Amino acid sequence: MTRPILPEHGGKTRPTPTRPPRAPPARTAIDAPTSPARRPIALATLRAQAAHCRECPLGALATQTVWGEGAGHARLMIVGEQPGDREDLIGRPFVGPAGHLLDKALAALGWDRDAIYLTNAVKHFKHELRGKRRMHKTPGQLEILACAHWLQGEIDAVGPAALVALGGTAARSLMGRPVKVLSERGQWLQRPDGRRVLVTLHPSALLRGDPAGREREFERWVSDLALAGDVLQPH
């Protein structure tokens, strides 16, 4: 309850205390789309802005920002973790070993890569040097959060009917919470903005797995991805 401001001696009223204006709440990837006033920014504009991003330390260490690519109004958006070594050098997502495995899965499903929008939760290659080799490092929460508005910008601009999260980083960024990929894989989750997110493994996890079980794991991964097949059909 607020206390009445009583007149001081001499009958003068005490000036009403003023509070500094409250800062707007920090935006996350999840709550951004609920704002009714926001209009999507064009992909080309976002891409140009992200090219100079220094909102976390990764930008200064990478060769370039790796922006998403594919159909500008794709019905399905596939989100990975971050560019790898090759993607960092070439400047395109999913063009290294993990990308080749993804291409193999898309071919098995009969999906056209150009009809999908492919991107990453984090737009710069996080790595550490071991000798001359650049070793992948998993992005941290702060890096995921710093990049979340770029991913949200892509979602707003492309307007996919559904998304696929490849691995924990993508799932965390899209859902705004940690996701247990092994127990939630092959399931549709729903974001507060209503968009559906299918969670499955990251292709690198398959590449790192036991070679003896690789073919079986690949088939299981493809059947996870197949759950998004209906999304690609125009309605």
Question: Nearest CA to 75 among 164, 153, 160, 165?
Answer: 160
* Amino acid at the residue 233: Q
Place of tokens 């001696």: 9
State which residue, 68 or 160, has the beta carbon closest to ligand URA: 68
Q: Which is nearer to ligand URA, 80 or 160 (CB)?
A: 80
**Judged by CB under 6 A, does residue 200 bind ligand URA?**
no
Shortest Cβ 26–ligand URA spacing (Å) = 25
Question: CB-wise, 98 or 197, nearer to ligand URA?
Answer: 98
Q: How far is the CB of 136 from ligand URA (least distance, A)?
A: 8
- CB nearer ligand URA, residue 98 or residue 228: 98
The CB-of-39 to ligand URA minimum distance in angstroms stands at: 28
Q: Which x/- pattern, by CB under 6 A, does the window 75-104 give for ligand URA? A: -----xxxxx--x-----xx-x-xx-----
Nearer to ligand URA, 81 or 184 (CB): 81
Closest separation between CB of residue 99 and ligand URA, Å?
A: 5
CB of 107 to ligand URA, least distance (A): 17
List contacts with ligand URA (CB under 6 A).
80-84, 87, 93-94, 96, 98-99, 120
